[in-house]
Amino acid sequence: MGEFGIGQPVRRFEDKRLLSGNGRFQNDNNLLGQAHAYVLRSPHAHARIDRLDLAVAKTAPGVQLILTGDDLVEAKLGAMGVPFQRKRPDGSPMFARAHLGLAQGTVRYVGEPIALIVAETLAQAKDAAELIDIDFETLASVTDTADAAEGKIAVWPDCPDNISNLFEAGNKAAADAAFAKAAHVVKRRYVISRVYAHFMEPRGAIGVWDPGEDRFTLYADVQYPHRVRQALATRIFKIPESRIRVIAGDVGGGFGTKGWQYPEHRLVLLAAKKLRRPVKWTCERSEAIQADEHARDNVSDAELALDKDGRFLGLKVKTLANVGAYISSERNLLATFGNVGTLVGTYDIPAAYVGVYAVMANTNGTAPYRGAGRPEATYVIERLIDDAARELGFDRVELRSKNLIPPERLPIKTALGLNYDCGDFPANQQKALEQSDWMGFAKRRDESKARGRLRGIGIANPIEKAAGPGQEFAEIRFHPSGNATLLMGSKNQGQGHETTFKQVLNEKLGLDPAVVQYIDGDTDRVAFGIGTNGSRSTVIGGSALWMAADKVIAKGKRIAAHLLEAADADIEFTVNDDGGAFAVAGTDRRLSITDVAKASFQAGRLPRDLEGGLYETGTFSPEDNTYPNGCHVCEVEIDPDTGALEIVRYVVIDDVGTVVNPLGLKGQIHGGVAQGLGQALMEEVVYDRESGQNLTGSFMDYAMPRADTMPYMEITSNPVPTKRNPLGAKGAGEAGTVGALPAIVNAVIDALAPLGVASLDMPATSQRIWQAMRGARA
Ligand code: MCN
């Protein structure tokens, strides 16, 4: 393991560029002759469009083009759609309506795109938008998830109960049988708030059409360039994939929300073709929360069955998952089934049944956002265990210890069908208890009390399904001078991929990161990619790179054998501080990988049966998920007069298998906890129940965590490498978020429990805490 190999805390190579103003973010792109686009959005949550008159707007200064839903129909554009079927609770086919890209006849949420106005300048496009004359007939709307599930107001007349489909997992009969023999049953309802990613750079897109090649280029900050190209080609424009290029430069945060195909992508492309010039759209900060997908927004009724000693016998969960007004693609259903698998957590629960109802409402669609269903699942099981402990008089930690799956029971197939392969859940918890000085908490609580403060401590043992099946791609291209370019199918959005993958390359081939060029995000340069989501890049992309490097070694051995006049079988490849080298075993005859690469490009130097050049590709497709896990402990102090809260201690024990970059991993856990903390304590998308207006449209109303909200975090790895990939790595990018929600809220409730507060929903703002204390005192 050299300075840059796997396991080294290498500082990010890309930071020099990104932190010195030399990044190439979406909005840094400007093309010669580009026109500017503005999207007119619905001001109503639910309304019929009785009249849409563009006449005046079309004559406004600078206006080049205005597109409406009718133009998309005329251009025969397709919609994304869901490529699988599900059933409604009565067994009838799933109800799903995809958005076309611009509204047609009716708008169903505030912010729904109605028209794209293209003008010489953005100001002219905005001015023209104000001249579009629309008669709306407003209709009753429903935005609250539980309200929508009651079906009193329908989002779609042909789906009066608003239930798109029901997704079930586990075994209902077995769960019912477990509940029938239980000594105790604990039931609770948990509301998981709606949140929005709020990345540093709001989305954007530039559409280009090349009339010579009859080919589109889309510049967009997307997480999956190749899948966006495929979706645009096969589902929207219905043209060969080879006639679209997607280029994603530096992505200013994605978090799942920049997942793939948004309506604006097809709109700028169509507009560019019609105008024969590039068309640029930039989402504004205040527009983003209306334009983008939101996340979470579940109501879960959960029941835990226990025997008299506190052993878990069964779990039943019914979840209402708000999917929004449209089900435009499978993304809008992912969070609903992402919720299911890890509901049993790290615990031995022999029987479980879960039903997730996908509920439609007059809201933005929901889609994967850091954790995509797993934070919700972990929140439910970890809060339920705390509530069971309080209700039945068990100690929270002992109740967990009694039910944690011990390492010797792994691998195990859980009652919800997941195959956990490895980990040491009791050791994670034990280490977290020690590191957080759990035993000393009572004393700290007394000290806080003496200062007039309430103190609480919370624990959670998260597990998540990450880096699941699906391919990823890597290519190592040597140059005639012996250095190389690395091309990856994963797309970086801030995770530090350049550094991570150069570390894997250095570990395998000993290449100096300084002379390796890194390329991702361009479908014309990188042959294939699935992209970055589900904490999959290190595991699957890193393994694809591992495979490509193995091919380089194999070919390099044949070249070296020829040059060193030895048999192939006698050549060894090793990496040391001087880099990678091929040597004849037992001798000092050796050639560096650079010399071998150079020779591969020199005519006449290779054996006749070897192709010249040294460029190898690798793909990897894991057979199953990895299961990152760990333990979070959070300690809070609350001011009983104001409800103001401070996180005074935060401990994370993580098992992400082999750690490629401990520094990068800590950064990921910090960021993940920050996003979990945001949801637990302050962030929430709020709609007005009557009008359906989004009341949290700016940072004045949507509270984001800031540096001073973040606690100091103690993070320690307890790695148990998995055998499911050659690196032994498990996904890490979402782990922090998954553990943070329950650990924080459990701590808040622990602090308030002595006052008689039994429940509190996220976000635990000081106002909510204050109200809960007041309610309990009354
Ligand atoms: N890592 C490691 N060892 C491992 C796993 C990961 O050292 N065994 C470190 C590496 O530094 C690696 C990083 O953690 O580059 C993240 O790796 P991985 O878990 O493979 O996650 P991905 O790269 O696939 O990123 C996806 C994940 C997800 S799903 C969301 S959402 C998210 C996240 O990463 N969005 C992010 N982290 C983000 N961080 C930033 N800055 N911006 C986002 O949009």
- The token pair that represents 55 in the structure block: 């006449």
Q: What percent of the chain has pLDDT over 70?
A: 100
Provide the CA 486 distance to its chain's centre, in angstroms.
Answer: 24
pLDDT at 181: 98
Q: What percent of the chain has pLDDT over 90?
A: 97
Does 246 score more than 70 pLDDT? yes
Helix ranges, 293-373 (H)? 331-338
Ligand 1 pocket member 368 (CB < 6 A): no
Ligand 1 pocket member 659 (CB < 6 A): yes
Rg of the chain over Cα atoms, rounded to whole angstroms, equals 28
Does 572 score more than 80 pLDDT? yes
- The ligand 1 atom at the shortest distance from the C-alpha of residue 370 is 31
- The ligand 1 atom at the shortest distance from the C-alpha of residue 496 is 15
Ligand 1 pocket member 732 (CB < 6 A): yes
Q: What is the DSSP letter of 35?
A: E
CA-nearest residue, atom 21 of ligand 1: 535
Ligand 1 pocket member 370 (CB < 6 A): yes
Ligand 1 pocket member 495 (CB < 6 A): yes
Please state, in angstroms and rounded to a whole number, the distance separating the CA atoms of residues 614 and 622. Answer: 26
Residue 100 CA, ligand 1 centroid: distance in Å? 32
Closest CA to 681 of 581, 762, 564, 627: 762
Testing ligand 1's pocket by substitution, the residue of 26, 518, 538, 734 carrying the most ligand atoms inside 8 A of its CB is 538
SS3 436: coil
Residue 172 CA, ligand 1 centroid: distance in Å? 36
Q: What is the DSSP letter of 277?
A: S
pLDDT one-digit tens code per residue, 434-460: 999 999 999 999 999 999 999 999 999
Amino acid present at 197: A
Residue 265 CA, ligand 1 centroid: distance in Å? 25
Residue 537 CA, ligand 1 centroid: distance in Å? 7
pLDDT at 708: 92
CA-nearest residue, atom 41 of ligand 1: 494
Residue 709 CA, ligand 1 centroid: distance in Å? 22
- The ligand 1 atom at the shortest distance from the C-alpha of residue 500 is 15
* E strand intervals along 325-446: 351-360, 412-413, 419-420
Testing ligand 1's pocket by substitution, the residue of 10, 374, 486, 535 carrying the most ligand atoms inside 8 A of its CB is 535
Ligand 1 pocket member 253 (CB < 6 A): yes
Please state, in angstroms and rounded to a whole number, the distance separating the CA atoms of residues 97 and 81. Answer: 8
Please state, in angstroms and rounded to a whole number, the distance separating the CA atoms of residues 402 and 726. Answer: 34
- The ligand 1 atom at the shortest distance from the C-alpha of residue 660 is 7
Ligand 1 pocket member 628 (CB < 6 A): no
Ligand 1 pocket member 223 (CB < 6 A): no
Residues contacting residue 305 through CB under 8 Å, at least 6 positions apart: 178, 179, 182, 184, 185, 312, 313, 314, 315, 316
Crossing angle of the two packed helices 542-563 and 593-600, in degrees rounded to 10: 80
Residue 735 CA, ligand 1 centroid: distance in Å? 9
Residue 737 near residue 673, CB atoms below 8 Å: yes
pLDDT at 148: 98
pLDDT one-digit tens code per residue, 177-192: 999 999 999 999 999 9
Closest CA to 731 of 652, 658, 631, 633: 658
Please state, in angstroms and rounded to a whole number, the distance separating the CA atoms of residues 477 and 69. Answer: 45
Please state, in angstroms and rounded to a whole number, the distance separating the CA atoms of residues 482 and 646. Answer: 55
Ligand 1 pocket member 193 (CB < 6 A): no
Testing ligand 1's pocket by substitution, the residue of 18, 495, 545 carrying the most ligand atoms inside 8 A of its CB is 495
pLDDT one-digit tens code per residue, 642-676: 999 999 999 999 999 999 999 999 999 999 999 99
Quick one: pLDDT band at residue 624, thresholds 50, 70, 90?
very high
Q: In the predicted model, what is the mean pLDDT of the chain?
A: 97
Residue 352 near residue 415, CB atoms below 8 Å: yes
pLDDT at 335: 72
pLDDT at 322: 97
- Residue 729, strand partner residues: 657
Does 338 score more than 80 pLDDT? no
pLDDT one-digit tens code per residue, 688-738: 999 999 999 999 999 999 999 999 999 999 999 999 999 999 999 999 999
Does 600 score more than 80 pLDDT? yes
CB-facing half-sphere around the CA of 371: CA atoms within 13 A: 34
Quick one: pLDDT band at residue 285, thresholds 50, 70, 90?
very high
CA-nearest residue, atom 30 of ligand 1: 255
Residue 733 CA, ligand 1 centroid: distance in Å? 3
- The ligand 1 atom at the shortest distance from the C-alpha of residue 659 is 3
- Residue 319, strand partner residues: 300, 356
Does 607 score more than 80 pLDDT? yes
Mean pLDDT along residues 268-287: 98
pLDDT at 2: 80
Please state, in angstroms and rounded to a whole number, the distance separating the CA atoms of residues 163 and 151. Answer: 8
Residue 685 CA, ligand 1 centroid: distance in Å? 25
Residue 668 CA, ligand 1 centroid: distance in Å? 6
Residue 642 CA, ligand 1 centroid: distance in Å? 37
- The ligand 1 atom at the shortest distance from the C-alpha of residue 254 is 44
Residues contacting residue 118 through CB under 8 Å, at least 6 positions apart: 35, 36, 37, 63, 64, 65, 66, 67, 125, 271, 275, 279
Ligand 1 pocket member 252 (CB < 6 A): no
Quick one: pLDDT band at residue 625, thresholds 50, 70, 90?
very high
Count CB neighbours of 242 within 10 A. 12
Does 18 score more than 90 pLDDT? yes
Quick one: pLDDT band at residue 1, thresholds 50, 70, 90?
low
Ligand 1 pocket member 373 (CB < 6 A): no
- The kind and range of the H/E element at 192 are strand 184-195
Ligand 1 pocket member 665 (CB < 6 A): yes
- The ligand 1 atom at the shortest distance from the C-alpha of residue 251 is 44
Residue 533 CA, ligand 1 centroid: distance in Å? 9
